[in-house]
Structure 1
Amino acid sequence: MIQEGILSFLQAHPASKYQLAYSGGLDSHVLLHACAALQAQKPEHFQFAVIHIHHGLQASAEAWAVHAQQVCASLNLPLKIIYLNLQPVRGESLEAIARHARYQAFSSCLAANEMLLTAHHQDDQAETFLLNAMRGSGGAGLAAMPTVRSLGLAQLGRPLLAFSRAQLEAYAASYQLDYVDDPTNADTQFDRNYLRHEILPRLQTRWPAVKQTLSRVAMWQAEQQQVLEQLLSRELLGFMGSRPHTLSAQTLQTVDVFMQKALIRYWLQHLGFALPAAKKLQHILSDVLAASPDASPCVSWQACEVRRYRDDLYALKPSRPHDAKQVLVWEEWNQDLYINSLGYSLSKELLNPAIKQIASTENLPLTIRFRQGGERLQREQGYSLELKQLFQTAGIPPWERERIPLLYLGDELRLVVGVYPQA
C-alpha cells in the first residue's frame, strides 16, 4: 500500500530528480526502502539519491552517518552526507536552529526541477496542526504541512502524509528494516514529543480517529489558504510601491486593517521571509505604515526588517556589520576591488581612462570611502553637488547611504557607485 501511494505521488508530481531526506529513523527508512523498490521495478522512470544531515548534536550522530552509508550501499543508492556546524542563538531553541539549518542544507543540494522527498506522515500532520494551534497560528499555520511546496529553486514533497505511523511501523516490520532510534524522540520536554506521548493518546481514547480528523482539517484549511493566496496575489499588484518589491503605504491605508494585515503577510511570505508574530505585525501597522513620510521606522524579527522611506515599505534581510569609516586604497587598477564588509567586489570598469590618467599624472591615490556627512561631489560641468541632495534626488533610503561606496581621486569625490554618474 505504501509503495503504491508513493508511486501515485511521484506520477502526480514529476521531477527531473528525486532526493530523499534520510535520518536513519523509522519514517525515513520506510520512505527510502519503498523508493528503492520502485527504482528497482521502474529504473527507466525513477532515479533517487539520498541526503543525510549530520547535525553533530548527539554522540550517536557519527554512528547514524555510518548506518546511512551502509543502508544506501546495500540498496545501491548514492548518498551525500552534509555536516552542520550549529551555533546556538539566544532566544531561539536549538531544535528550531537545527531545522532551519537542515532545510538550508537541503536547498543548497537541489537544482531547479528537482524534488526533495521527506517522510512526514499523518501523525506528524496532526501534531503540527495542534502545535500551531497552541502557538496561536493563523490560517497558514493551521494548514500545517502542504503535500508539496517550494524549496529554493526546487520543491519539497511529502508522499507519506496519507499514512499513519502505525502503517509505517507495520511496513518496517514486514520487511524487517533495521532503523536507528533517536532517544530524544521520547523526551517530553520538547513540545512535539509531549503532544505525541501525552496528549494525542488521551484524545485517541475518546476520539479514535482524532489523527485522521486533524489531518483532514489541516487539508481543508490548506485548500482555503490556497484560495486566499490566489486572491491576494492579484490584489497585491494594486498596492506595489515605486521601487521593486515594495508596498505603497498610502495605498495600503485606503483599505481596512484586516486587509492590510493579509496583504503584508502575503507580501512577506512571497518574498521568502518568516511571518511576524501578531504583536510585530501590529507594530508594522502602527510604527511603520502610519509613520510620517520623512521618518525612518523599522520593525525587525527573525532575519527580517520592515522599513519605510517616503511612501515605500521595504522588507529586508538585516545588513551585515559595516565600518563606514574604513578607507580602501585601490592599488591594482586592472583588478576588481573586494569590499569585505559589503560582501561584493567593485568592477575595475568603474575606473575610466580619464580618472586613471589624472591619478597617474598627478600621483593621486584612488580610494573607496563611505559617507560621513557633508561630502560634495565634483561634477564634470565644473560645479559640485551635496551628496545628501544627490541621495535624496535619487530616492536612496537612509539606511543604504552609508553603505554606498564613494570613489575619491585624492581628496576629491568623483563617483558614487550605482548613483552618479548613471550607467
Structure 2
Amino acid sequence: MLVHFLQQQSATRFLIAFSGGLDSHVLLHLSATLRATYPQWHFRAIHIDHGLQPASAAWAAHCRAVCEVLAMPVVNVALHLQIPSGASLEAEARQARYAAFAQHLQPGEMLLTAHHQDDQAETLLLHLLRGSGVDGLAAMPAVRAFAQGWLGRPLLTCSRADLAAYAYQHGLNYLQDPSNADTRFDRNFLRHQVMPLLQQRWPAVTATFARAARLQGESRQLLHESLQEKLPHYQGSRPGTLAVSQLRTASLALQAALLRVWLVNAGFQLPPAKKLGSVLHDVLLATADAMPCVHWAGCEIRRYRDDLYALPPLVAHDSTQIYGWDTQQPLVLPSVGVTLVPEMLGAWLPIVRDSGSAVTVRFRQGGEIMQLPYRGGSHSLKHLLQEAGIPPWQRECLPLIYVGERLVNIVGVLQVNP
C-alpha cells in the first residue's frame, strides 16, 4: 500500500509528520522498513510540539527516542502557541502546524501525513455540516502541491482498525493524546458519538463516505480542468485581472466558480460564502466609476474600470520618502518591494555619469509634471497615470526617477529620453 503510493510519485525524498500517535507511528515504522529494499527513497521525520498540553515536552522526547531506535532523522519544532480569545483551538493549531511543515519542507520533497479512511469520512461529514460545495465534499486529496513540494496522504485507503492491527502486530509503543477524547471538538464528537451510531445501521459507512469523497474529488478535478480552459476568455486588460464586463455575461454559478479558480491560481485563500456573494453583487454590479473593495484573510478584491484585481492587503506607504541614487549599483526600495537597476535610466545614464547630475527617487505627492517632447510640452502625472490605466491604489507606490528636477521615468509605466 505505501510502496504502491510512493512508486507513483516523482519525489524521492519524504518528510513524515510524526506526532507519536497511532497513525503517524505506523506510517513512520512502515517507511523505516522500506529503506533497505528501496534505497532510492529517503525519509526523515518532523515532530511539532504545539505547547498546548502539559505532557507535550515528554511527547517530543518520546518521538525523538522512537526515531533514534529506527535510525530515522527527525526535526523537533516547538511552537508555544497562544490561542487568541474566541479562536478555534483546532484551527489555530492546524494553521501553525502546517506553517511549520512548509518552513521545513525542502524543494522537491513530499510531506507525508497519516490521514486514513476514517479521517476522510469524518472530514466529509464536517464539510457537509458546514454546507460546503464540491471542494469541501472532496475532502482530502491523496496528493496536492504544498510549499516547495507536495503533501501526500498514503494511508487514505486504510481504516483506523487496519492501523491498530499493524501497531499491535509490531508492538508499537504509540502516544495517546487525551484531547482526542474531548467531544467538545467537532471532529471528536463525530468520531466518538456520531460514527459509531451510523456504523450500527450501516457497517460500511466509513468506506462508503470515503468513496463518496473520492468521487467528489474526481468531479472537482473535471470541473477544475474545465474552468482552467474557460478562464482565459475572461482575462482583463492587465495581467492577472478578470474583465468585469465578460464575467457579467456568465451565469452567477459560473461567475462564482471562475472567481474561485482565479483566486486559487493566484495563491489566495478562498473567501467565505458571504464574502464571495459581496464580490458577485457589490463589486461586479458596481458602476464603472466606483472602486469597491471586498477583503478577507490575506486577500482584497478591488475593481478599477473594467478590471477585477485580487491583491494582498495594502500596507501603509510613506510617499514623502526621497532616495538619493548614485546609479553605480541597484537601489532597493523596501517599502514598495522594488529594486531599481541603473539600466532603467536608459539614455540618461551616460549623461548623468558625465555631468554628475543628481538622481533621486521619489513618490507621488500631487502636482507632478513630465516633459514629453514627442507629444508637445508637459503633462500632469495624474493624467498620465489615468491614461495608462494605473489603479489609484498603485499610484502612490510607483517610484518616480528624477534627474535633477526633471521627472524622467515613471517606473513600469513611462520613460522619456533626453
Which of the numbers 11, 19, 32 marks the counterpart of 1:36?
32
Aligned to 1:295: 290
Task: Let me know the Cα RMSD of the aligned residues.
Answer: 2.6
Aligned to 1:143: 138
- SS state at 1:330 partner: strand
Looking at structure 2, the residues matched to 388 and 20 of structure 1 have their Cα atoms a distance apart, in angstroms, of 55
**Taking structure 1 as reference, are residues 147 and 345 closer, same or farther at Cα in structure 2, changes over 3 Å only?**
same
Moved more, 101-110 or 230-239: 101-110
Aligned to 1:328: 322
Which of the numbers 360, 373, 385 marks the counterpart of 2:366?
373
Are residue 281 (structure 1) and residue 281 (structure 2) matched? Answer: no
- SS state at 2:35 partner: helix
Which of the numbers 256, 259, 265 marks the counterpart of 2:260?
265
Q: Do 1:376 and 1:413's aligned partners in 2 also have CA atoms closer than 8 Å? A: yes
Q: Do 1:299 and 1:306's aligned partners in 2 also have CA atoms closer than 8 Å? A: yes
**Taking structure 1 as reference, are residues 370 and 188 closer, same or farther at Cα in structure 2, changes over 3 Å only?**
farther
Are residue 16 (structure 1) and residue 19 (structure 2) matched? Answer: no
Moved more, 210-219 or 9-18: 9-18
Q: Do 2:24 and 2:114's aligned partners in 1 also have CA atoms closer than 8 Å? A: yes
Looking at structure 2, the residues matched to 51 and 27 of structure 1 have their Cα atoms a distance apart, in angstroms, of 14
Are residue 6 (structure 1) and residue 7 (structure 2) matched? Answer: no
Q: What is the CA distance between 1:370 and its match in structure 2?
A: 2.2
User: Which AA in structure 2 matches 1:17?
Assistant: R
**Taking structure 1 as reference, are residues 409 and 237 closer, same or farther at Cα in structure 2, changes over 3 Å only?**
closer
**Taking structure 1 as reference, are residues 112 and 380 closer, same or farther at Cα in structure 2, changes over 3 Å only?**
farther
Q: Do 1:330 and 1:337's aligned partners in 2 also have CA atoms closer than 8 Å? A: no
Q: Do 1:296 and 1:398's aligned partners in 2 also have CA atoms closer than 8 Å? A: no
User: Which AA in structure 2 matches 1:277?
Assistant: P
Q: What is the CA distance between 1:375 and its match in structure 2?
A: 2.1
Looking at structure 2, the residues matched to 91 and 313 of structure 1 have their Cα atoms a distance apart, in angstroms, of 34
User: Which AA in structure 1 matches 2:97?
Assistant: R
**Taking structure 1 as reference, are residues 370 and 64 closer, same or farther at Cα in structure 2, changes over 3 Å only?**
farther
**Taking structure 1 as reference, are residues 272 and 374 closer, same or farther at Cα in structure 2, changes over 3 Å only?**
same
Which of the numbers 97, 117, 131 marks the counterpart of 2:126?
131
Looking at structure 2, the residues matched to 378 and 94 of structure 1 have their Cα atoms a distance apart, in angstroms, of 59
**Taking structure 1 as reference, are residues 348 and 25 closer, same or farther at Cα in structure 2, changes over 3 Å only?**
farther
Q: Do 2:325 and 2:361's aligned partners in 1 also have CA atoms closer than 8 Å? A: no
Looking at structure 1, the residues matched to 291 and 361 of structure 2 have their Cα atoms a distance apart, in angstroms, of 27
**Taking structure 1 as reference, are residues 74 and 380 closer, same or farther at Cα in structure 2, changes over 3 Å only?**
farther
Looking at structure 2, the residues matched to 181 and 59 of structure 1 have their Cα atoms a distance apart, in angstroms, of 13
Aligned to 1:312: 307
User: Which AA in structure 1 matches 2:20?
Assistant: G
Q: What is the CA distance between 1:92 and its match in structure 2?
A: 4.7
Q: How does 1:181-220 map to 2 (within 5 A)?
A: 181-220=176-215
Looking at structure 1, the residues matched to 323 and 181 of structure 2 have their Cα atoms a distance apart, in angstroms, of 59
User: Which AA in structure 2 matches 1:68?
Assistant: C
Looking at structure 2, the residues matched to 401 and 141 of structure 1 have their Cα atoms a distance apart, in angstroms, of 39
- SS state at 1:49 partner: strand
User: Which AA in structure 1 matches 2:409?
Assistant: L
Which of the numbers 371, 378, 385 marks the counterpart of 2:379?
385
- SS state at 1:48 partner: strand
User: Which AA in structure 1 matches 2:64?
Assistant: Q
Q: What is the CA distance between 1:147 and its match in structure 2?
A: 1.0
Q: Do 2:49 and 2:80's aligned partners in 1 also have CA atoms closer than 8 Å? A: no
Structure 2 gaps, min length 5: none
User: Which AA in structure 1 matches 2:133?
Assistant: G
User: Which AA in structure 1 matches 2:195?
Assistant: L
Looking at structure 1, the residues matched to 170 and 309 of structure 2 have their Cα atoms a distance apart, in angstroms, of 54
- SS state at 1:268 partner: helix
Looking at structure 2, the residues matched to 94 and 422 of structure 1 have their Cα atoms a distance apart, in angstroms, of 56
Q: Deviations over 1:368-423 (max 9, x none)?
A: 33223222234576843211112122221111111112234565544322223189
Aligned to 2:351: 354
Moved more, 184-193 or 338-347: 338-347
Q: Do 2:111 and 2:150's aligned partners in 1 also have CA atoms closer than 8 Å? A: yes
Aligned to 2:63: 68
Are residue 231 (structure 1) and residue 231 (structure 2) matched? Answer: no
- SS state at 1:292 partner: coil
**Taking structure 1 as reference, are residues 122 and 414 closer, same or farther at Cα in structure 2, changes over 3 Å only?**
same
User: Which AA in structure 2 matches 1:329?
Assistant: Y
Q: What is the CA distance between 1:55 and its match in structure 2?
A: 2.9
Looking at structure 2, the residues matched to 174 and 134 of structure 1 have their Cα atoms a distance apart, in angstroms, of 37
User: Which AA in structure 2 matches 1:75?
Assistant: L
- SS state at 1:172 partner: helix
**Taking structure 1 as reference, are residues 120 and 422 closer, same or farther at Cα in structure 2, changes over 3 Å only?**
farther
Q: How does 1:21-100 map to 2 (within 5 A)?
A: 21-40=17-36, 42-84=37-79, 92-100=87-95
Q: Do 1:320 and 1:342's aligned partners in 2 also have CA atoms closer than 8 Å? A: no
Identity of aligned residues (%): 51
**Taking structure 1 as reference, are residues 422 and 15 closer, same or farther at Cα in structure 2, changes over 3 Å only?**
farther
User: Which AA in structure 1 matches 2:351?
Assistant: A
**Taking structure 1 as reference, are residues 62 and 294 closer, same or farther at Cα in structure 2, changes over 3 Å only?**
same
Q: What is the CA distance between 1:294 and its match in structure 2?
A: 2.2
**Taking structure 1 as reference, are residues 305 and 57 closer, same or farther at Cα in structure 2, changes over 3 Å only?**
same
Moved more, 244-253 or 412-421: 412-421
Q: Deviations over 1:161-205 (max 9, x none)?
A: 111112212211221212222232222222112212222222222
Looking at structure 1, the residues matched to 79 and 296 of structure 2 have their Cα atoms a distance apart, in angstroms, of 24
Q: Deviations over 1:18-72 (max 9, x none)?
A: 22111222111110000101113x1433221222233334443333332232222
Give the TM-score taking structure 2 as reference length. Answer: 0.90
